[in-house]
Structure 1
C-alpha cells in the first residue's frame, strides 16, 4: 500500500493517539491507587489487582491479537480494541466495588491488546520506504516512551482536582475522537481470512501460557520468587508454552510460523528489547519511589522531576533518530543508545542517600532521554524489519509481547532485589534512608548489567550487513537527497 504522504501521516497520528491513550492509562492509574483504595475499600493485597488484571490480559493476548489482525484486517481489530477500551473505561469509572473495577480493568487490557498489537503492523504497511518508516516508528516510539512520564503528572492533577473516576472518564471523549479519526483516516483493508487458519489450539496454549507467566511475575512482589504460587505459575506457563512450541511444529497453519522466527535479526532484536525494557521499566518505577522515600520529594514534585526525560526523548526520537537510522542503520543507533543507557544506570548506581536532584539525578535523566530516543525507535525498526504484509500483525504482536513480558520481569526482579538488599542493610544496623538507598543502588547496578547484556546481544547476533533497502536508502542520503521527498513522490 503506497498512499500519498498527506494521507499516511494523519493515519499515523490516529495510531499514535490510540497508543498514547492506552499507555497513559497505566501510569495514571498507578498515581490514583491510594484514592481508589479509600473509596472502594480495597485490601492492600486486592489493590494490586487494579494494575495486575490489566497486565495479565494485555500481556497475554498480544500475540493472538496480532494474528487476528492479519486474518481479519488490522483496521477492524484496531477499531474493536479502541471501542472495547473506551467502554471498559466507562465501566471503571462507574465501578461501585473492587470486583467490578478489577473486571473492568481486565476488559481494558483486552481492548488495549487488540489495538496495540496491530498498530506497528499498520505502520509497516503505511510506510514501505525505509527512511519514512524509520521516522514513523520514531514518532510512534516517542508516544510510548513519553506516555508513562506524562501520565504520572496528569494522574496526580486529575485525581486531586476531579477525583479518581476522572482518570477513566477522560478516556471517553478521547476514545470517541480516535474512533472517528480511525474510520476517516485508516484505509479499509482485507485480512487474509480465517480460512488461512487461526490455529485455535495454538492460540489457546499461547494466550494461557503468557497469562500464566505474567500472573506469576506480577505477584512476586507480594509472594516472593520461591513461593508455591510463583513456582506453580511458572511451571504452568512452561508447560503451556512448551505445548505451544510443539503445536507450532505440527499445525498446518501455525499461529507463529517458523518462517517468522527465521527472519534475519528478528529473534535477536526481540531478545535485546526484552533485556532493555526490563531495565527501563524498573528504572521508571524504582527512581520514582526513591525520589520520594530517600530524597524527600512529594508525588507532584516527583512527576515533574521526570519531565526532562520525555522532553529529551521527543527531541531525539522525533528530530534525530529517524535520520540517524537512515544514515547509519538501526543496529548502529541501537548500540550507541544502549551504551548511553549503561552510563545512565551507572550514575544512578552511585546515588547517595543525601544526594540532590540537580547534581545526582538530573544528569542520568537527561542521558536516559537521549538513550530512550535512540534505542526505542531502533529496536522497534529491527523487530519489524523483515515483516511482510501477511505477517506484519504477528510481528507487531510479538514485539509488543516482548515489551510487556520484559517490563513485568524487570520491574518484579529489580523491585524484589531492592527490597531484599534494604532489609539486609537494616538488619546490619543501617538507618532507614541509607538502607533504602543501598537497595536501589543494587537494583540500578543490576539494570546496568541487563543493558550491557542487551548491547552484547545486539553486537553479536544482529546482522552486520544492512539489507538491500537499507543500502539504497543510505546511498540516497549520501547523495544529499531528502528520503522523505523521494518516498512521498513514489
Structure 2
C-alpha cells in the first residue's frame, strides 16, 4: 500500500519530469513554423534546441548540490517556478534571440527539477517499494519522450507554435503550491559547497555537449580533461559530489547508452517519416507512438520485478531487447509501416524493463543523504547520452542513410548490455512476493 504523501510525491515528481522531458522533443516538429514566424536561420533553429540541452546538462550537478544544501522540496519548487516562467517567456518571444535566451533559462529550471524529483521520490519510498515507484516514474517519462513530437505537431497544426510552451504554464502554477504543501522536505549532507568541483562538472558537461552538438574536437578534449580533473578531485576531497562505486559507475554507463539509443532513434525516425515517407509533423509523430506503449503499460510491473529479483537481470534483458529492436528497425526502414511497428514496440519493451531497474540500481540504492547527489550524476549522464546518440546517429545518417543509421543505434544499445553485466549481482531487498501494482 502507498500513503497519501507517497502518492503526492510520486505524482508531482512524475508530472514535473514529464514536462521537462517533453520540452526536449516537443520543439522538433514545430521548428519549420518557428523559422517562418521569427525569420530564423537554420543555425538559429539549432540553438532553440541546443540552448536547452546545454544549460540543462551543465547545471544538473549544481541543481543537485543546491537541493542538498537548501532543501530538496524548496529547490524543486524553485526549479518548477523558473521553468514555468521561462516557458511563458518562450511563448511571448518576439524574436529568435529572445526565444533562445528563454530556452536557456528553461534548461536551468529543468536542471533543478530532474535530479530533485528523483531524490524526493526515492526519499518518500522504502527500499522494497522503490522499484515499483521508479517503474511508474520511468513509464511516465518514457512516454514523454515518445509523445513529444506528437504534441508538438498537433499543437502547432491545431493552434500555434507558442502553445507548446503555454501548455506548461497552468501545470507549473498548480504544481508549485502542491509541492510546497503536499511533499515533505529532505536534505543531503550540509557541507560547504565544493565550488571547484561544481565548476569542473559544469566545464566538463559544457565541453562534451558542445562538442557533440558541433562535432568539434577541441571542446571535447577540454571537456574530457575537466571530467578527469573532477574525478581526481572527487577521490581526494572530504565532501565528494559523485558516487564512484562500481554499481553507480556501471548504472550510469548503462543509462548513457540506453538514452543515446532512445533519443537518437526517435530523432532519426521522426525525420525518416517526414523526409522519406513525406508525412506531416503530426502524422510522423503519431507513427512513433508504438515506442511509448510498452513503457507506459509495463513500467510499474517492471519496477516491481526489480523489487523482487534485483536489477541486473532486467537491465540485461531490457537492453538486449532494445538492441534487437533497433537493429530490426534499421532493416525495416525502407519497408512499410506495418513492418516497423513490431521493432519499435520491441525497443519500447526493452526501455520499459531497463530504465526503472537502472534508476533503482543507481539512485534507489543510495543512502538518503546521497539521493540528490546520485540523481544529479544519473540525470547528467542520461542527458549527455541523448546528445551523444543524436550526434553519432546523425553522422552515420549523413554518410550511409537512414537504414544504416537506425541499425547502428543497436551498437549503442550493446554498450548498455555490457555495462549491465558489470553491475554487482545483488539480491532482492526482500523475499519474493506476488507481483502486483498497489491499489
**TM exceeding 0.5:** yes
CA distance in 1, matches of 2:196, 2:418: 36
CA distance in 1, matches of 2:18, 2:144: 6
Change (3 A) 1:90 1:62: same
Q: Residue 408 of structure 2: which of 446, 449, 455 is its match?
A: 446
Task: Please state how far the C-alpha of 1:364 moved relative to its aligned partner.
Answer: 0.8
Asked if residue 367 in structure 1 is aligned to residue 346 in structure 2, the reply is: yes
Aligned to 1:457: 419
Change (3 A) 1:245 1:336: closer
Aligned to 2:183: 186
Q: Show the 5 A alignment for 1:304-319.
A: 304-318=286-300
Task: Please state how far the C-alpha of 1:346 moved relative to its aligned partner.
Answer: 2.0
Question: What SS does structure 2 have at the residue aligned with 1:187?
Answer: coil
Asked if residue 253 in structure 1 is aligned to residue 246 in structure 2, the reply is: no
Question: What SS does structure 2 have at the residue aligned with 1:390?
Answer: helix
Question: What SS does structure 1 have at the residue aligned with 2:40?
Answer: coil
Task: Please state how far the C-alpha of 1:241 moved relative to its aligned partner.
Answer: 2.3
CA distance in 2, matches of 1:43, 1:15: 36
Aligned to 1:243: 229
Change (3 A) 1:374 1:83: same
Change (3 A) 1:237 1:311: same
Asked if residue 269 in structure 1 is aligned to residue 251 in structure 2, the reply is: yes
Aligned to 1:232: 218
Asked if residue 357 in structure 1 is aligned to residue 337 in structure 2, the reply is: yes
Task: Please state how far the C-alpha of 1:400 moved relative to its aligned partner.
Answer: 0.5
Question: What SS does structure 2 have at the residue aligned with 1:164?
Answer: coil
Q: Residue 163 of structure 2: which of 163, 166, 170 is its match?
A: 166
Q: Residue 140 of structure 1: which of 127, 137, 142 is its match?
A: 137
Question: What SS does structure 2 have at the residue aligned with 1:418?
Answer: helix
Change (3 A) 1:420 1:335: same
Asked if residue 299 in structure 1 is aligned to residue 260 in structure 2, the reply is: no
Taking only aligned residues, the RMSD between alpha carbons, in angstroms, comes to 1.9
CA distance in 2, matches of 1:147, 1:81: 19
Aligned to 1:175: 172
Task: Please state how far the C-alpha of 1:128 moved relative to its aligned partner.
Answer: 1.5
Change (3 A) 1:39 1:14: same
Question: What SS does structure 2 have at the residue aligned with 1:349?
Answer: helix
Task: Please state how far the C-alpha of 1:49 moved relative to its aligned partner.
Answer: 0.3
| TM-score, length-scaled by structure 1 | 0.85
Give deviations 1:394-439, integer Å, cap 9, x for gaps: 1001111110001101110011111112xxxxxxxxxxxxxxxxx2
Q: Residue 34 of structure 2: which of 8, 13, 36 is its match?
A: 36
CA distance in 2, matches of 1:393, 1:242: 22
Q: Show the 5 A alignment for 1:86-101.
A: 86-101=84-99
CA contact (8 A) 1:270 1:383 kept: yes
Q: Residue 154 of structure 2: which of 152, 157, 163 is its match?
A: 157
Unaligned stretches of 5+ in structure 1?
221-229, 422-438, 486-490
Unaligned stretches of 5+ in structure 2?
none
Aligned to 2:315: 334
Q: Show the 5 A alignment for 1:464-479.
A: 464-466=425-427, 470-471=428-429, 473=430, 475-477=431-433
Task: Please state how far the C-alpha of 1:191 moved relative to its aligned partner.
Answer: 4.8
Change (3 A) 1:6 1:98: same
Task: Please state how far the C-alpha of 1:231 moved relative to its aligned partner.
Answer: 1.4
CA contact (8 A) 1:66 1:117 kept: yes
CA distance in 2, matches of 1:73, 1:346: 44
Aligned to 2:324: 343
Question: What SS does structure 1 have at the residue aligned with 2:7?
Answer: helix
Question: What SS does structure 1 have at the residue aligned with 2:110?
Answer: helix
CA distance in 2, matches of 1:143, 1:394: 22
CA contact (8 A) 1:198 1:254 kept: no
CA contact (8 A) 2:333 2:340 kept: no
| TM-score, length-scaled by structure 2 | 0.95
Aligned to 2:194: 199
Aligned to 2:67: 69
- Between the two proteins, the alignment pairs up a number of residues equal to 439
Give deviations 1:171-202, integer Å, cap 9, x for gaps: 11111011122122111334543xx1211111
CA contact (8 A) 1:92 1:168 kept: yes
Task: Please state how far the C-alpha of 1:454 moved relative to its aligned partner.
Answer: 1.6
Runs of 4+ in 1 over 6 A off after TM superposition: none
CA distance in 2, matches of 1:352, 1:451: 18
CA contact (8 A) 1:476 1:483 kept: no
